Structure 1
Amino acid sequence: MDTGGDGPVVVLLHGLAGSGRELLPTAEALSPELRVLVVDQRGHGASTRRPADVSRAAFVADVVTVVESLAPGRKVCLVGQSMGAHTAFLVAHARPDLVDRLVMLEGHVRGGEPGEAARLGAWFASWPLPFAHEQTARAFLGPSPLTEAWVADLERTPAGLRPRFDADVMEAVLAAVHEPRWEEWRSLTVPTLAVFAENGMFTVEQQDELVAARAATERAVLRGAGHDAHLDVPDAWTDLLRRYLLTARGRPSPAP
C-alpha cells in the first residue's frame, strides 16, 4: 500500500505471522501529512508464501528495494513492530543513507531463548487447519485484538480458511531474528525511538539494556498494552507515532 502524497516517507513493517493489513489503521492515522508505504514482508500476507531465502539479509534487501523503487533519492523513516522492528534496524545499519529516523515497537536485538522459535513453530503447526468458519478460528485462538487481526487476514480457499503464512517458514524466520545483533545496533547513528508495551515481551532491564547500548535512542512506554500494542491501544500508539514523526525535524519529543 502507498498512501501517496509529497510528505516525508514512512515505511511500516509488521511483525512475525502478521501482514501489512494490521498496520493500515496506523497508515491512515499518519496520512495525509506523511506518505506511508505498507509492506508485506516475505513469507507473509500477499508476499511470497514460501521464499527460498528467509535470512535477515533477504528481508533487508526487500525493504531496500521498496525504498529505492518507490521513494528514489529520498530518506525514509522506518517503523516496525517486533520482527518488523528487527528488520527496520538492520536496514538502518546496512543502508544509513536511506534512513532518516527509526521507530521500533516491541523490538530488540538481544536474540531469543534456545528452543523458542521451535516452540512457536510447533504451536502454529498445531492449528486445526483449515478453519471452517471465522467463528471456528476465534474459538481456537481465543478472544484478543491479535486474533481479530489474524481472522481478518485469513485466506479463503475451497477447503476452508487458512492463515497467509506457513508454520515452518515462521519458525525459520524467527530463528534468524533470534540471533544477537549487538554489534550492528551499537553502530547505528540514526535517531531512534524504542517503544515498549507496559505488559510486553521485554523486561525493564532488557529495555534499559537496549537504550543504554547506543546514543540517539529514546524510549517510550505504551500503558495497558501487550506485545501487539498497535492492536491493543491503537489510539495511544498512533498518537505517539504522529507526535514523533510530525515534530519539527530536529529532536523529537515522545511522551512516555
Structure 2
Amino acid sequence: MPHLTTSDGTHLAYRDHAPPGPTAGKTLLLHGLAGHMGEWDALLPALLTSGFRVVTYDARAHGASTRRPPTVTRQSYVDDAATLVTELALAPVTLIGQSLGGHTAMLLASARPELVDALILVEAGPAGPSPEVPAQIGGWLDSWPTPFRSLEEAEGFLGHEGWARGLEERADGWWPRFDRDRMVDSLTELAENAYWQEWSRVSCPTLVVQGEKGTMRPTEATDMRALRPGTRVTVVPDAGHDVHLEQPERLAEAIERFL
C-alpha cells in the first residue's frame, strides 16, 4: 500500500482507484473518527463507473497511517488532505467526507478553495461547542470488549461489518488500529468551537447528506442553507450517522444527482 509523508513526518496510507474508461473527475474520500478507508468500499463502484478517479486514505492516527502522529489538531488533518490533493495531482477535486472527515473536507474547502471543485458532507457540518463529546466518545471506546474473539463478534458489537474490517488481527484476537487517547484528542477543538465562519467562506457547490436517524443538530442543515442559500440538502431514509455504510446505494444516487 502506498504512503505519503507529510511535513511533520506523518505517513498517510492511501489507495488510488482509476476508472475503467476516461476520467470524468477526481474525488478524495475522507472517513470519520475511529474509521478507515475501507468504509468507502461499497461506494467505490458507483463512482468509478461514473468515470471518477477515487482516492481513499487512512487519516493520521488511524488504520495503516502513523498511529501516534505528533499532533491531531484540526489543522493537521486539513493539511494532510491538502497534501494528498496536491501531491497526487487531484485538484480541482470533489471532496466527500463523513462525520469528522466531512468536517476536515469543509475546512479544506474553506481555506483552499482553489483545490476544491465540489463538496459533499455526509452527517457533517459547522456544529458548535459540544463539551460533552470527548467524554462520550471516550466512554464508547472504553466499552469495546477488546480483543474481539472474531470479526463476527466485532460486527455484532459495532453494528456493521465495515467497522469490523477496520480491526487488525493479533495472536489473541482482533484489536482497533488506533489509540483511544488520539481519538479523544482529535475531538478537542470540535468540542470547544463552532465553525460557522469557515462554512460561510466555502464557495464551491455543496451537498449536505443527512441520515434520517442521524446525529446532526436538528436545525444544522437548515442553518447551513440559510448562510449559503445554494447549498443542497438531502435526507437518506433508514440511515443513521453512518449513511455510507447503512445506505451506500442511496448515497451513491444522491451524489450522482448532485454531480
State TM-score, norm by structure 1.
Answer: 0.88
Which of 226, 229, 233 is 1:219 aligned to?
233
Matched with 1:254 is none
Aligned residues: 240
Amino acid at match of 1:197: G
Amino acid at match of 2:204: V
Matched with 2:242 is 228
Following superposition, the deviation at residue 122 of structure 1 comes to 2.4
Matched with 2:133 is 116
Q: Do 1:86 and 1:177's aligned partners in 2 also have CA atoms closer than 8 Å?
A: no
3-state SS of paired residue (2:102): helix
Which structure: greater strand fraction? 2
Which of 173, 194, 197 is 2:208 aligned to?
194
Taking only aligned residues, the RMSD between alpha carbons, in angstroms, comes to 1.6
- Alignment of 1:173 onto 2:191: no
Following superposition, the deviation at residue 207 of structure 1 comes to 2.0
Q: What CA distance in whole angstroms lies between the structure 2 residues aligned with 1:24 and 1:10?
A: 14
Matched with 1:60 is 78
Instruction: Calculate percent identity across the aligned residue pairs.
Output: 40
Which digits, 9 at most, give the CA deviation of each residue in 1:63-107, with x for residues without a partner?
Answer: 1110111116x3001110010110001001111000010000100
Structure 2 spans left out of the alignment, 5+ residues: 1-14
Q: Do 1:26 and 1:238's aligned partners in 2 also have CA atoms closer than 8 Å?
A: yes
Following superposition, the deviation at residue 215 of structure 1 comes to 3.5
Q: Do 2:155 and 2:163's aligned partners in 1 also have CA atoms closer than 8 Å?
A: no
Matched with 1:44 is 62
Following superposition, the deviation at residue 202 of structure 1 comes to 2.1
Q: What CA distance in whole angstroms lies between the structure 1 residues aligned with 2:155 and 2:247?
A: 20
- Alignment of 1:30 onto 2:44: no
Q: What CA distance in whole angstroms lies between the structure 2 residues aligned with 1:31 and 1:234?
A: 14
Q: What CA distance in whole angstroms lies between the structure 2 residues aligned with 1:215 and 1:150?
A: 35
Q: What CA distance in whole angstroms lies between the structure 1 residues aligned with 2:244 and 2:115?
A: 25
Amino acid at match of 2:229: A
Following superposition, the deviation at residue 131 of structure 1 comes to 1.9
Q: What CA distance in whole angstroms lies between the structure 2 residues aligned with 1:196 and 1:138?
A: 23
Following superposition, the deviation at residue 158 of structure 1 comes to 2.2
